[in-house]
A = this chain, B = another copy of it.
Amino acid sequence: MSEKIKAYGTEAADKDLQQMEIERRAILKNDVKIDILYCGVCHSDIHAAKNDWGNANYPLVPGHEIIGKVIEVGADVKNYKKGDLVGVGCMVDSCKECSACEDDLEQFCEKGMVGTYNGKDKHSRNRTFGGYSTSIVVREEFVLKVPTNLDTKAVAPLLCAGITTYSPLNHWKIKKGDKVGIIGLGGLGHMGIKFASAMGAETYMITTSEEKSADAKKLGADDVIISKNKDEMKKHTGSFDFLLNTVPVKHDINPYLQILKRDSTMVMVGAIEPLEPMNGGNLIMGRKRVAGSLIGGIKETQEMLDFCGEHNITSEIEMIDMQDINKAFERVTNNDVKYRFVIDMKTLKEA
């Protein structure tokens, strides 16, 4: 039997989030039911709630950086039991049959992966509802084991900001001694610094804001380049083995292409919109590459969490109450957070 639970969501693009009731499906034989402890606040949550991407279905309950405890498992569940500390990221289902799913890249499922919220639930007539809620029911294959040696609250953002930055660094095989630049210091960029640094790279934060230098170094950057300073950029011409571009808005990528080494790649993970015109010559001279990367598959997300357990990596967070979510959205929009808000779900349960 499906169940009514408490959540925070919105009925329309122009409305604030507010407390509501949503229906969760009854657990199926392969499902895990999770009591949600914490949920990170991702910039995508705001885009979705406000229908910036034009595909919102209301009511919409955001949240895809979910940490919780297993409270019930279906008859056929093999890898989880009651009491386990688990996570759920951006996806809760996919076809598991296409070539992308076979390659452990469910995010590129050819039939379309099911987003943790605003997706079509394959097992009920409902849409999917995200982690701004007290509990969630998820197919076993999309549940992740969370290392128990970390600050659990600060693990939540790893499920989106973490895997989004880990995956390209891992896929492009960043290794000890590589010169890596992380462009942009926000929710994604601060994780990029931590991962690149843990992988042994000579890690540079590349930012427009001089005032972020000290913080970047505290997070693990070996040095900082202020991208507005043309002389400083010029010193690094043709020198980077890899660039991870986390800037979430329209910008000019040409200056970054110029600091890439021959045959090297800049990966975009932030800007899902038209960029300033790229000069083809900046790719042609040096056989350079620009690529994109989207979160990561479930297998790689588990590897990322295990890597974080080993290297003691978590996100920098600021805890909020569920009731303060609209203020938090405003602050995220104004880049006023270091570096991720995490909702303490106790505040919803006790509301």
Chain B residues, Cβ within 8 Å of A171: 287
Among the 9-residue stretches A24-32, A63-71, A203-211, A271-279, the one with 4 or more Cβ atoms under 8 Å from chain B is A271-279
Among candidates B100, B282, B284, B293, residue contacting A293 with C-beta atoms closer than 8 Å: B284
Residue of B nearest to A272 (CB): B281
Contact assessment for B287 and A280 in the assembled complex, using a CB-CB cutoff below 8 Å? no
Residue of B nearest to A285 (CB): B294
Residue of B nearest to A270 (CB): B280
Nearest CB on B from A289, distance (A): 4
A290 to B281, CA, bound (A): 12
Chain B residues, Cβ within 8 Å of A270: 280
Contact assessment for A285 and B289 in the assembled complex, using a CB-CB cutoff below 8 Å? no
Among candidates B262, B280, B292, residue contacting A286 with C-beta atoms closer than 8 Å: B292
Contact assessment for A268 and B283 in the assembled complex, using a CB-CB cutoff below 8 Å? yes
Given A100-B262, A262-B100, A286-B108, do A268 and B280 touch, yes or no (CB 8 Å)?
Answer: yes
Contact assessment for A274 and B277 in the assembled complex, using a CB-CB cutoff below 8 Å? yes
Contact assessment for A284 and B272 in the assembled complex, using a CB-CB cutoff below 8 Å? yes
A110 to B238, CA, bound (A): 9
Contact assessment for B291 and A268 in the assembled complex, using a CB-CB cutoff below 8 Å? no
**A269 contacts partner chain B, Cβ-Cβ < 8 Å:** yes
A275 to B275, CA, bound (A): 10
Contact assessment for A105 and B281 in the assembled complex, using a CB-CB cutoff below 8 Å? no
**A288 contacts partner chain B, Cβ-Cβ < 8 Å:** yes
Nearest CB on B from A283, distance (A): 3
Given A265-B289, A288-B291, do A273 and B283 touch, yes or no (CB 8 Å)?
Answer: no
A290 to B302, CA, bound (A): 29
Nearest CB on B from A124, distance (A): 27
Residue of B nearest to A245 (CB): B280
A108 to B110, CA, bound (A): 39
Nearest CB on B from A320, distance (A): 28
Contact assessment for B105 and A262 in the assembled complex, using a CB-CB cutoff below 8 Å? yes
A282 to B271, CA, bound (A): 10
A230-271 contacts to B, CB under 8 A, are 238, 250, 262, 265, 268-271
By CB atoms of chain B within 10 A, which of A108, A171, A269, A291 has the most?
A: A291
A-B contact pairs, 14 of them (CB 8 A): A108-B262, A108-B287, A270-B280, A272-B280, A273-B281, A274-B280, A275-B279, A277-B277, A283-B291, A287-B292, A287-B294, A289-B289, A289-B291, A289-B292
Closest 9 CB pairs of A and B: A283-B292, A284-B292, A271-B280, A274-B277, A272-B281, A289-B291, A268-B280, A274-B279, A284-B294
